């Protein structure tokens, strides 16, 4: 069965909108998210545009702050500090990746953890790994919400996550293997050094592919009835499109779909959920998380 991320998102955004009306009343202003974009990486431009658009739709004041690709890190640190000290800014998001000449970790750590709606500061990663998350990074948050909304119980399930990044694989590992209402899975975290990937995926009740390698999971690698979450976004040439490309995931959709019990499409699966859960994090920040 196809998991319609857009449909699930719509429902959650409705809930968020009504929550936001109350928060705005309490604050006497709209909750606000500031997004810092450095350079003009085309994929980042697309993501940022979508984030700002969703902000406007739900009732968050979304502000985009742009910097040239050659900006000095001191200027960025100062800007982040200014946002940290601005009581009318609830969330700060540094759009990743940053250009190679900048120290991504240093910039992330400059963000006040109480405004770190991406959940990427060391403090927030620590909270997450201790089992008491403050802000859950939006993509893993969206995936956990998919399981909740389609009624999949994670307890006791064998899960394989492919990809160990700080924004997807690692937080997801922590969430799914943790104690909690819907976690308690047995999780294997695979990566590019994993030998014989199918040995792991064939055992899995749930496979989450987050690698950025197109078609890394094919039909022969999954067991009948597995649940497949495809996080990957890969551009492939497509001359029939005006843009000259189309987006595909990490999973060979056509063949995997024949065996899977549930599968997320690309686009329209995890992507919309990511933006939606970012909005949820901004809501939580505006409510004043501790």
Q: Does 193 bind ligand NDP (CB under 6 A)?
A: yes
CA–CA distances in Å: residue 137 to residues 45, 79, 105, 152:
20, 22, 15, 21
CB 31 within 8 A of CB 286: yes
Angstrom distance (rounded) from CA 73 to CA 103? 8
Of 95, 110, 205, 250, the catalytic one is 95
- Residue 278 interacting with ligand NDP (CB under 6 A): no
137 is a contact residue toward ligand NDP (CB under 6 A): no
CB of 273 to ligand NDP, least distance (A): 7
Residue 175 in the binding site for ligand NDP (CB under 6 A)? no
Residue 151 exposure: Cα atoms within 13 Å on the Cβ side: 0
Helix (H, G, I), strand (E, B) or coil at 185: coil
Give the span between the Cα atoms of 184 and 290, in whole angstroms: 25
- Minimum CB–partner distance for residue 109 and ligand NDP (Å): 18
Please report the beta strands in the chain, taking only residues with DSSP state E, as ranges in sequence order: 32-38, 61-67, 91-94, 158-162, 186-190, 206-209, 227-230, 234-237, 245-248, 262-263
Task: Tell whether residue 271 is a contact of ligand NDP (CB under 6 A).
Answer: yes
Chain positions 33 to 62 lying near ligand NDP, rule: CB under 6 A, are none
Applying CB under 6 A, does 180 fall inside the site for ligand NDP?
no
- Give yes or no for residue 171 binding ligand NDP (CB under 6 A): no
Residue 19 among the catalytic residues: no
Identify whether 51 is a catalytic site residue: yes
- In the complex, the smallest distance separating the C-beta of residue 64 from ligand NDP, rounded to whole angstroms, is 18
Q: State the catalytic residues.
A: 51, 95, 118
Which positions lie near ligand NDP, rule CB under 6 A? Answer: 139, 162-165, 167-169, 190-194, 210-213, 216, 231-234, 270-271, 274
């Amino acid at each position: 069965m196809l998991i319609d991320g857009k449909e699930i998102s719509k429902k959650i955004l409705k809930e968020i909108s009504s929550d936001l009306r109350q928060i705005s009343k309490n604050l006497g202003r709209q909750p606000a998210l500031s997004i810092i974009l450095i350079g003009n990486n085309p994929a980042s431009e697309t993501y940022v545009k979508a984030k700002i658009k969703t902000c406007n739709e739900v009732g968050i004041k979304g502000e985009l702050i742009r910097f040239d690709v050659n900006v000095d890190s001191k200027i960025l640190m100062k800007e982040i500090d200014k946002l940290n000290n601005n009581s009318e800014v609830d969330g700060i998001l540094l759009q990743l990746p940053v250009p190679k000449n900048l120290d991504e970790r240093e910039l992330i750590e400059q963000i006040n953890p109480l405004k770190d709606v991406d959940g990427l500061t060391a403090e927030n990663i620590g909270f997450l790994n201790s089992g008491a998350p403050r802000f859950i990074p939006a993509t893993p948050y969206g995936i956990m919400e998919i399981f909740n909304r389609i009624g999949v119980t994670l307890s006791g399930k064998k899960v394989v996550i492919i990809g160990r990044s700080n924004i997807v694989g690692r937080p997801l590992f922590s969430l799914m293997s943790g104690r909690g209402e819907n976690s308690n899975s047995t999780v294997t975290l695979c990566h590019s050094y994993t030998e014989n990937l199918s040995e792991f995926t064939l055992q899995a009740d749930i496979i989450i592919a987050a690698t950025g390698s197109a078609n890394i999971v094919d039909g022969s690698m999954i067991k009948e009835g597995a649940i497949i979450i495809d996080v990957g976004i890969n551009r492939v040439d497509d001359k029939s499109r005006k843009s000259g490309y189309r987006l595909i995931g990490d999973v060979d959709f056509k063949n995997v779909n024949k065996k899977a019990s549930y599968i997320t499409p690309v686009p329209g699966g995890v992507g919309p959920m990511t933006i939606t859960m970012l909005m949820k994090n901004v809501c939580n920040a505006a409510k004043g998380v501790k």
